[in-house]
A and B are shown apart, each in its own frame.
Chain A
């Protein structure tokens, strides 16, 4: 069961590499978070821990419901086109994705003992999500895509924390969720301001400050 869900996370991460428009990206982020929610709830069910149930519930409320809703709202309110603005075209992005996945696999295989195949695969997917987020932030021009990239990195870290140490301590987890939510709100606010001042959200064109 868990393997299928993890495979889902992996596929969705690949999907983000080929997404050209914002709604697709937001939707795949939402699905990815939903799969993480499933992983956490299964873990909570196995270990009968109240903490994990609460973490799963928070994950659902914040990352599946609130943040995508917020992003959609920002997009609608600003009436910007949904294009992400690719620096790297889709085919090349997909090749990069393969390369990054391989890198993630090498890295996680070095990190844990080679006997535990299951753990290696979880770690690989987690690191791959982190790298995917980083790739999205670097290679996409829209400011909103950068926010999604950051969130994808955060998702990867969440999976990593689940895999390696059964999640962070409870109140740290809560604090991080709160933090992620606040950061999305604040970044959304700034995107809104950028749109108002510059009449675009193309990060590539933000180049007044140099030297």
Chain B
């Protein structure tokens, strides 16, 4: 039942943007709506998690723990983004960057975008899954090109073209999956729940070819290198709250799609094939992103490349496939979504005060904005996997999984790139956060809703990390169940 609320509330809110004219009220209503969605998402996760059952409606919606987990992550991030948007959009309207009418368009697109992202993990039919992923691209293209400057329109164009081509390959893969299904003499269907039980009798060669197309297709959307070229452009040019949404959850919906097909592959072809491909793409992503992070000058592009790195880690985690590593990868999805939202919100505040993206020109953030500065500093430690934060736990789980299952090379590569990225982040952000203020800077107060968002996110980053040190053994069964359904 909750799923109808989760899909319905964003739709209702997008209708509300057509009726309500005051953007402040709109922001508050949005917030309340997404709080409700978050609540529904949490209960949904609890329901599937505790009863170990699946929820399905009319052959159209099918949810197990994997889907509800992704829905939950999406609902958390969309809630904090709704909260952060209030202050951000208000400031943009006051400064005359966007008009009041455009502020309403922002809320309309934001709601539609969230709705399409909630739809991806909920549907059963792999064709509809494809349509939903494509819808996320089409709607968010407007949000990437929102400011209508030369750079942002260019980024939006690249985004829409590269992702559409990528996703066409995913459709090709989906068709080949249904081909494998139909030549084994079964009734025509694209439903995931009817494909998995018969996966072992499907034609192995076709499945293998189809999965490569799927991985290239959805991998483009997920930002796996070398298909990542749209990602730094789009993430750096989008509005700050949307960057958080793009990086935090949009990439994960594509990862979810890969996992859904991956489960069929694991049942049909065996684990080795899935594992090798995921580790290969993950490793390429890690290597490429760590190189670009080292030499980066633009703040938001730096964060975008960091997303590529984390997507690589997640892919490697699923690829290793030991229960501990899978658990780590799932947690990493959650942790990265939260931490990256925090970082993009911080970057949004910094950019809106300093009016530039170039990291060499930004100095003394802690003096200019003490609250944002300190949270960003904590965020830097969190995102590079420093000790008390939850990303550390998930990375440790993936590493332990890699070592125990004997993939020493992968573990070594992971450690090496993590070390490089840690150094690069500390170097870049150290220069930005500390130091003297530029002379013409005027220090202003920060909005309250922003502070609340940051505290909430910091809480989410810290608590699971500390909590999981003690209880992570009990959670392992999820991972064990996940791929053996």
Which residues of A are at the interface with B, using a C-beta cutoff of 8 A?
A: 110-111, 130, 133-134, 137, 143, 146, 150, 153-154, 157, 160-161, 164-166, 168-169, 171-172, 175-176, 178-179, 182-183, 186-187, 190, 193-194, 197-198, 203, 206, 208-209, 211
Contact across chains for A183 and B138 when beta carbons are under 8 A apart: yes
A180 to chain B, nearest CB (A): 9
Contact across chains for A175 and B168 when beta carbons are under 8 A apart: no
Partner pick for B150 among A146, A150, A197, CB 8 A cutoff: A197
B400-433 to A contact mask, C-beta < 8 Å, 1/0: 0000000000000000000000000000000000
Partner pick for B125 among A130, A146, A169, A186, CB 8 A cutoff: A169
In the complex, chain A residues whose CB is within 8 Å of the CB of B172: 130, 157, 160
Partner pick for B178 among A133, A165, A187, A194, CB 8 A cutoff: A165
Cα separation A203 to B162 with both chains bound (whole Å): 13
In the complex, chain A residues whose CB is within 8 Å of the CB of B127: 168-169, 172, 175-176
In the complex, chain B residues whose CB is within 8 Å of the CB of A169: 125, 127, 188-190
Partner pick for B179 among A110, A150, A165, CB 8 A cutoff: A165
Determine the main DSSP class of A at the interface with B. helix
Partner pick for B175 among A110, A168, A175, A186, CB 8 A cutoff: A168
Contact across chains for B153 and A190 when beta carbons are under 8 A apart: yes
Cα separation A137 to B189 with both chains bound (whole Å): 32
Cα separation A134 to B154 with both chains bound (whole Å): 20
Residue B297 interfacial (CB < 8 Å): yes
Q: Can you give 21 contacting A-B residue pairs, CB < 8 Å?
A: A110-B205, A111-B206, A150-B165, A153-B165, A154-B168, A160-B172, A168-B127, A169-B189, A169-B190, A172-B127, A179-B138, A183-B160, A183-B164, A186-B138, A194-B153, A197-B149, A197-B150, A198-B150, A209-B158, A211-B296, A211-B301
Residue B141 interfacial (CB < 8 Å): yes
B175 to chain A, nearest CB (A): 5
Determine the main DSSP class of B at the interface with A. helix
**Given A165-B175, A165-B182, CB of A211 within 8 Å of CB of B298:** yes
**Given A169-B189, A172-B125, A176-B131, CB of A186 within 8 Å of CB of B141:** yes
Cα separation A208 to B176 with both chains bound (whole Å): 38
Taking CB atoms and an 8 Å cut-off, the chain B residues in 132-182 that contact chain A are 134-135, 138, 141-142, 145, 148-151, 153-158, 160-161, 164-165, 168, 171-172, 175-176, 178-179, 181-182
Contact across chains for B161 and A146 when beta carbons are under 8 A apart: yes
Contact across chains for B178 and A190 when beta carbons are under 8 A apart: no
Cα separation A140 to B125 with both chains bound (whole Å): 35
Cα separation A169 to B292 with both chains bound (whole Å): 43
Contact across chains for A164 and B182 when beta carbons are under 8 A apart: yes
Which residues of B are at the interface with A, using a C-beta cutoff of 8 A?
A: 125, 127-128, 130-131, 134-135, 138, 141-142, 145, 148-151, 153-158, 160-161, 164-165, 168, 171-172, 175-176, 178-179, 181-182, 188-190, 205-206, 209, 232-233, 236-237, 292, 295-298, 301
Contact across chains for B135 and A179 when beta carbons are under 8 A apart: yes
**Given A209-B233, A211-B292, CB of A190 within 8 Å of CB of B156:** yes
20 more A-B contacts (CB under 8 A) besides A190-B160, A193-B145?
A: A130-B168, A160-B172, A164-B176, A165-B179, A165-B181, A165-B182, A166-B182, A168-B175, A169-B189, A172-B127, A175-B128, A176-B131, A179-B135, A183-B138, A194-B154, A197-B153, A209-B154, A209-B236, A211-B232, A211-B292
**Given A157-B175, A172-B127, CB of A183 within 8 Å of CB of B134:** yes
Cα separation A110 to B203 with both chains bound (whole Å): 13
Chain B residue at minimal CB-CB distance from A203: B157
B346 to chain A, nearest CB (A): 21
